[in-house]
Chains A and B, each alone.
Chain A
């Protein structure tokens, strides 16, 4: 049970058309998340992290690849067939203020989950709402308050309460900390950890804050320009990063000592409209060779559980 894969993503693709141009938002992303574990998904803004989240939770349709949830391929299920799976996976968004309906009281916002899935009687629903608010650290007597009457951290707690309301096993956290103060971030991280322990939750944690990802995740996936460039367990990735992009990413974390940076990333990430030939990272890569401009590297297992997509490392 512990080692069982809960969600598996295979060769996920998503293209958006913008006029004549095609934006390669997600290209051939594959990974597995084991039940009860946390996968940290990191990458620069525009690297397709949030698109992956929305694809997995079926808010947008895929252009290729498969999403397998607990052994069932949910990639092309109709909305009706998907409904039982909607109960089992939920999402927490970046901006808590805009992810709560301003016209509903927070009690109603959470109760909506039960109404949508027709669960419980009215009294049971009220009871559940109060229990959930209590669980995320909000005084249940505030259930008749409106979202705008809460602070950002409290709003995010309410979003988390909504996400766990249906006893979902899998929760996607799409940069849930980015719009919060650092002190509040710590509280929310603590809450997420406690809930994971108590309810056995599985997280896909999207962030660009490496310190947070390091703290929370069991394994980490690094995305660059819609592609997965490195995937490994946390220990390996931080002690032995292999992909040049990961190396620069890790060395960009500011240290208290203020050491000289080993590698500095130059330039901007290329536009996903016309991604470069070959390796997506080649225009900025310090170790670039000819092959990098010709062939796209494939994600390969270098050592046990450590996958990298880089010609140089693979040799």
Chain B
């Protein structure tokens, strides 16, 4: 501790130090940032509108004019990939935020207050958890109609249970730690303890869970699109593009490889960030 320069390194700057040492995770994080930027700027970057048809150029393999080729209607696949990315990110972040809001609130309440509240909330979680979630997603989208909002709701309706469980467990173990007891012994109120003592100490695993959950959400969205229940066409989605591409695989493999490749890359980069976070969080000095 003699070296004064090292003083004041918070818990988070320590985690960042450890995260930085993991090359794959840093690479993933850079890639995630690029993907998000690409998704946000899709309308300006895309060389063509996603629904513009070029009948004179259907099934064109990748060339200078169409960077990733065209599909059966002559639509530019590169532009459609960008818009799909945008959709995947909107769905991923949107549904995850909803999951975090519901799961964090209920998990914190259940873990902090314990007793009957905990019992009731956790039985609801068990019920939601035991539902076949993909089936429920399909039903919800059918009932609510297609669109971003119904996809968010459908995914969050089943996804929050896992988050609530995680948060409850973390809250329970943090609640019994001595520094929380010390705060209570000093007369700190429930709100103060929850927001200044428990929440900052459980946020690490929550962030990990957000990152590791996003790929899952994107996969569900692609899965819904694959069977025609995702975003409304002609708005593109990787799932939809993959399903269109599978029929063409032998003749125009780029139609399948481009969206599948993007999906894999995106999911992998989110996963690398999540793994890096997990390692950084679990490492003890």
- Interface residues of chain A, those whose CB is within 8 Å of chain B, are 54, 57-59, 79, 82-83, 86-87, 89-91, 93-95, 98-105, 112-113, 116-117, 141-142, 144-146, 148-151, 154, 159, 162, 166
| Majority secondary structure, B binding face | helix
Q: Contact between B186 and A116 (Cβ–Cβ < 8 Å)? A: yes
Q: Contact between A112 and B8 (Cβ–Cβ < 8 Å)? A: no
* Chain A residues whose CB sits within 8 angstroms of the CB of B183 once the complex forms: 101, 112, 116
Q: Contact between B201 and A102 (Cβ–Cβ < 8 Å)? A: yes
How many residues of chain B have a CB within 8 Å of chain A? 27
* Chain B residues whose CB sits within 8 angstroms of the CB of A95 once the complex forms: 178
Which one, A90, A145, A146, contacts B185 given CB within 8 A? A90
Q: Contact between B186 and A86 (Cβ–Cβ < 8 Å)? A: yes
- Distance A113 CA – B179 CA, assembled complex (angstroms): 12
User: In angstroms, how far is the closest chain B Cβ from the Cβ of A170?
Assistant: 11
- Distance A232 CA – B189 CA, assembled complex (angstroms): 38
A149-B178 in contact given A83-B187, A91-B185, A116-B192 (Cβ < 8 Å): no
Q: Mark B235-277, 1 if CB is under 8 A from A, else 0.
A: 0000000000000000000000000000000000000000000
User: In angstroms, how far is the closest chain B Cβ from the Cβ of A143?
Assistant: 9
- Distance A194 CA – B200 CA, assembled complex (angstroms): 36
User: In angstroms, how far is the closest chain A Cβ from the Cβ of B193?
Assistant: 10
Q: Mark B171-189, 1 if CB is under 8 A from A, else 0.
A: 0000001110111111111
* Chain A residues whose CB sits within 8 angstroms of the CB of B189 once the complex forms: 79, 116
Q: Please tell me if B285 contacts chain A, counting CB pairs below 8 Å.
A: yes
Q: Contact between B186 and A105 (Cβ–Cβ < 8 Å)? A: no
Q: Contact between A103 and B182 (Cβ–Cβ < 8 Å)? A: no
- Distance A18 CA – B201 CA, assembled complex (angstroms): 29
Q: Contact between A93 and B200 (Cβ–Cβ < 8 Å)? A: no
Q: Please tell me if B1 contacts chain A, counting CB pairs below 8 Å.
A: yes
* Chain A residues whose CB sits within 8 angstroms of the CB of B6 once the complex forms: 149
User: In angstroms, how far is the closest chain B Cβ from the Cβ of A32?
Assistant: 21
Which one, A91, A144, A146, A149, contacts B182 given CB within 8 A? A91
* Chain B residues whose CB sits within 8 angstroms of the CB of A58 once the complex forms: 185
Q: Please tell me if B48 contacts chain A, counting CB pairs below 8 Å.
A: no
- Distance A135 CA – B251 CA, assembled complex (angstroms): 81
Which one, B184, B185, B201, contacts A101 given CB within 8 A? B201
Which one, B11, B177, B188, contacts A116 given CB within 8 A? B188
* Chain A residues whose CB sits within 8 angstroms of the CB of B7 once the complex forms: 142, 144-145, 149
- Distance A69 CA – B40 CA, assembled complex (angstroms): 63
- Distance A238 CA – B278 CA, assembled complex (angstroms): 54
User: In angstroms, how far is the closest chain A Cβ from the Cβ of B79?
Assistant: 45
User: In angstroms, how far is the closest chain A Cβ from the Cβ of B172?
Assistant: 15
A117-B179 in contact given A105-B8, A144-B7, A145-B7 (Cβ < 8 Å): no
* Chain B residues whose CB sits within 8 angstroms of the CB of A113 once the complex forms: 186
Q: Contact between B11 and A150 (Cβ–Cβ < 8 Å)? A: no
* Chain A residues whose CB sits within 8 angstroms of the CB of B10 once the complex forms: 103, 105, 146
A-B contact pairs, 15 of them (CB 8 A): A59-B185, A86-B187, A89-B185, A91-B182, A101-B183, A101-B197, A102-B11, A103-B201, A104-B196, A112-B188, A117-B186, A142-B1, A146-B9, A149-B9, A162-B186
